[in-house]
Amino acid sequence: MIFNSNIMNLHFKDALAYLTFKEFEKLDFVNHAFSTRLGGVSTGEFNSMNMSFNRGDSDENVTQNYKRLCAAIGTNYKNLTASAQDHHTYVRKVTAAERGIGIYRPRDMESVDGLITNEKGVALVTYFADCTPILFADTKRRAIGACHAGWRGTVGEIGRITVERMREEFNSDPADIKATIGPAISKCCYEVDEPVAERFLSLGLDSEKIVFPKGGGKYMIDLLETNRQILLKAGVSKDNITVSDVCTRCNSDLVWSHRATKGKRGGMCAIIEIV
């Protein structure tokens, strides 16, 4: 395994590996991490660090994986609160009362692709395996957010919606929000057909940096750049947006990629918490 990134750090705790953004490591009120596929207890096609409860792995294995990751990054397992993703754009405000939901307590809602909070000790959890994770930190109001942007969530502008929800709930100024985008499948590996490409072209963004025709009705799409432009439109400063240089498909020996495994896979999670 060769890992090369100017944007992210790869950490090892014994056999367990996780990623962080260098820019978010500078924030003294935030703890965050992205799991990899290394260092867990899952077996078979989930080998070994699977963070998804709904793919056929045993709940016991996934729970143990979360406890291992939390111990490695210094987060209390009891603080975890998970999304309930289905490629939509609803962003939920959560508090200490929701801790455990989707992890060691049953889901109480469906169709939640984003989470926000301004409370300490509430760790937001979102899931990925090629789709784009976006993390948010309001450096003035000390609020955080996390959302899952697959192609549907991206064209639905869930990044903008998350910024707007933080403004509604916490009086966040977009100019005070720092955001990180990725790791995700990158433009080198994300091929779509014409109907999907048309959805991206209809966003009114700088499409020459987003949609790349291949011929034969096929296109390469840059999910990360699309989300960057959406955040810019939402008022986030370009200097406050960090885009990952880690493609999940190119690095599928380290992280889970749905396309690289043809769907026979586990899942990664992103965790962010106010400390």
- The CATH label, of 3.60.140.10, 3.40.50.80, 3.40.50.300, 3.40.710.10, for the domain at 8-184+238-274 is 3.60.140.10
Give the chain's length: 275
In angstroms, rounded to a whole number, what is the distance separating the alpha carbons of residues 55 and 36? 16
Query: What does the pLDDT read at residue 80?
Result: 98
Query: What does the pLDDT read at residue 2?
Result: 84
DSSP assignment of 173-227, as one string? -GGGEEEEE-SB--TTT-EEEHHHHHHHHTT-S-GGGTEEEEETTEEEE-HHHHH
Residue type, 250: C
Query: What does the pLDDT read at residue 126?
Result: 98
Torsion of CA 29, 239, 255, 112, to 10 degrees: 70
Determine what percent of the chain falls in helix, strand and coil, rounding each to the nearest 5: 30, 30, 40
Tell me how crowded residue 209 is: count the other CB atoms within 10 A of its CB: 13
Query: What does the pLDDT read at residue 131?
Result: 98
The gap between the terminal CA atoms of the chain, to the nearest Å, is: 32
Query: What does the pLDDT read at residue 73?
Result: 98
Domain residue spans in the chain? 8-184+238-274
Query: What does the pLDDT read at residue 214?
Result: 97
- 262 CB-near residues (< 8 Å, 6+ apart): none
Strands (E), the chain: 8-13, 16-21, 30-35, 80-82, 91-93, 114-117, 123-128, 132-138, 143-149, 177-181, 191-193, 211-215, 218-221, 241-243, 268-274
Write down the pTM of the prediction.
0.98
Query: What does the pLDDT read at residue 1?
Result: 75
Handedness of CA 248, 254, 258, 262 (dihedral sign): positive
Which stretches in the chain have pLDDT values below 50? none
